[in-house]
Amino acid sequence: MNGSTSGDILEGVPGRHWQRLEDGRIRCEVCPRYCKLHEGQRGLCFVRARRGDEVILTTYGRSSGFCIDPIEKKPLNHFLPGSAVLSFGTAGCNLTCKFCQNWDISKARQFDRLTDLASPEAIAEAAARTGCRSVAFTYNDPVIFFEYAIDVAAACRARDIKAVSVSAGYMCAEPRAEFYRYIDAANIDLKGFTEGFYKRLCSAELAPVLETLTYLEHETSTWLEITTLLIPGENDSPQEIAALSAWLMERLGADVPLHFTAFHPDWKMLDKPPTPAATLLAAQRIARAAGLRYVYTGNIHDEATQSTYCHGCGALLIGRDWHAITAWHLAGDGRCPRCGAACGGVFDGPPGAGGRRRRPLVLDLVDGGR
Ligand code: SF4
């Protein structure tokens, strides 16, 4: 938890999920850190803070920028493939990963990064205007700004635009249930498969993340995919990957896509080399051998290991190279045209072409896009 900074004027909107403690502090119950706050103090995430007798969210309506991305960049390979998604984030994070690949946003301690102001309606309108099928809460974890994310998702839903969450899944049960009612697809980072990894490198715990995965797959209609960033010498042993894959197969089933992505040295982990492609390929073999049907490599170019194949007959269904769709053979109903087996996912006809490249979007309107 962070103490208040000198001259720190707290502004924001009332936050939910907290309670007063007998010792006078207020406990935030949004994530399993349960920060206990004195007057004027910020939580570990930096964006939730105590002001008077309540917890406020200090980043409501403020963003670190907007981009139009391909949905495959989230990564989501089985959710409206080839469509464009309006991506944004705020600042701060409730994890402290030493290997963070978005640290300039997640570790932001000043809001000078939050240059774009946008109401939920303005974001929904911008998504519709630019041909995006969905809006994604990404770059930093939406857990910490979930009230804003919910309002954006609700405004999007009114325009038939989907909402996507990219998160580490470190969230308490009540806010989690509230949040995911509005979320159509999620990619959850499963950062490793040992408590030691989470504790040592993220100051967090594995168990709540596994609870979130189980909850999403069995108690919501949210489409779920999982990403594991493989870091040389930290979480890439064949034993750990086998244990992770066996757990996913047993608890979530064969149809949840799993992405193994390549690490590059960043933030406080500059002493590790980039992940060799061979490690990603070996992990993919292990996960497939465990029974998982859709296992992908990421952050490398390798069409063979990034494409989707039919689990029934092995036919190529969707060709992919990095974030680009290179082939499309899926029938309109999401089945294999050769054997008729259903491919897990959310499909809506042939792929869109609007999201192949990242495009920054200037969005500085605060009131309904006008
Ligand atoms: S959401 Fe932020 S303030 Fe609340 S418990 Fe988590 S880190 Fe602490």
Task: Report pLDDT for 166.
Answer: 97
Task: Give the whole-angstrom CA distance, residue 54 versus residue 52.
Answer: 6
Strands 223-230 and 258-262: parallel
Question: In angstroms, what CA-CA distances link 249 with 22, 48, 239, 252?
Answer: 44, 36, 15, 6
The answer for residues whose C-beta is within 8 angstroms of residue 285's C-beta and 6 or more apart is none
Q: Above pLDDT 90, what percent of the chain?
A: 78
Task: Report pLDDT for 350.
Answer: 80
Q: How close is the Cα of 1 to the center of ligand 1, in Å?
A: 8
Q: How confident is the model at residue 369 (pLDDT cuts 50, 70, 90)?
A: very low
**pLDDT tens digits for 119-163?**
999 999 999 999 999 999 998 999 999 999 999 999 999 999 999
Closest C-alpha to 54, from 28, 92, 93, 91: 28
Contact 137, 182 (CB under 8 A): no
Ligand 1 probe mutation, 17, 36, 94, 95, most atoms within 8 A of CB: 94
Contact 199, 205 (CB under 8 A): yes
Angle between helices 238-251 and 207-219 (to 10 degrees): 30
Element housing 156 (H / E): helix 146-157
Q: What are the backbone dihedrals phi and psi of residue 286, each rounded to the nearest 5 degrees, phi first?
A: -65, -45
Strands 258-262 and 54-57: unpaired
Bridge partner residues of 164 (DSSP): 136, 185
Two structure tokens written together for 29: 């119950």
Q: How confident is the model at residue 117 (pLDDT cuts 50, 70, 90)?
A: confident
Please determine, for residue 367, whether its predicted confidence score (pLDDT) is greater than 50.
no
Two structure tokens written together for 247: 């757990």
Q: How close is the Cα of 264 to the center of ligand 1, in Å?
A: 28
Please determine, for residue 368, whether its predicted confidence score (pLDDT) is greater than 80.
no
47 CB near ligand 1 (under 6 Å) = no
Helix ranges (H only) for 252-317 are 277-289, 303-306
Please determine, for residue 362, whether its predicted confidence score (pLDDT) is greater than 90.
no
Please determine, for residue 349, whether its predicted confidence score (pLDDT) is greater than 90.
no
Question: How would you classify residue 273: left for phi > 0, otherwise alpha for psi between -120 and 50, otherwise beta?
Answer: beta
Strands 185-189 and 162-167: parallel
Q: What is the mean pLDDT of residues 207-235?
A: 98
Please determine, for residue 111, whether its predicted confidence score (pLDDT) is greater than 70.
no
**pLDDT tens digits for 289-333?**
999 999 999 999 999 999 999 999 999 999 999 999 999 999 988
Task: Report pLDDT for 3.
Answer: 46
Task: Report pLDDT for 370.
Answer: 30
Please determine, for residue 106, whether its predicted confidence score (pLDDT) is greater than 70.
no
- Mean pLDDT, all residues of the chain: 90
**pLDDT tens digits for 15-50?**
999 999 999 999 999 999 999 999 999 999 999 999
Task: Report pLDDT for 6.
Answer: 37
Please determine, for residue 108, whether its predicted confidence score (pLDDT) is greater than 60.
no
Q: Which amino acid is at 311?
A: H
Task: Report pLDDT for 115.
Answer: 56
Two structure tokens written together for 2: 């962070």
Contact 295, 257 (CB under 8 A): yes
45 CB near ligand 1 (under 6 Å) = yes
Contact 349, 337 (CB under 8 A): no
Q: What is the mean pLDDT of residues 2-8?
A: 49
Q: What is the mean pLDDT of residues 176-187?
A: 98
Task: Report pLDDT for 271.
Answer: 85
Element housing 207 (H / E): helix 207-219
Q: How close is the Cα of 47 to the center of ligand 1, in Å?
A: 8
Contact 38, 85 (CB under 8 A): no
Helix then strand count (H, E) for the chain reads 9, 20
Q: How close is the Cα of 174 to the center of ligand 1, in Å?
A: 14
Task: Give the whole-angstrom CA distance, residue 340 versus residue 251.
Answer: 26
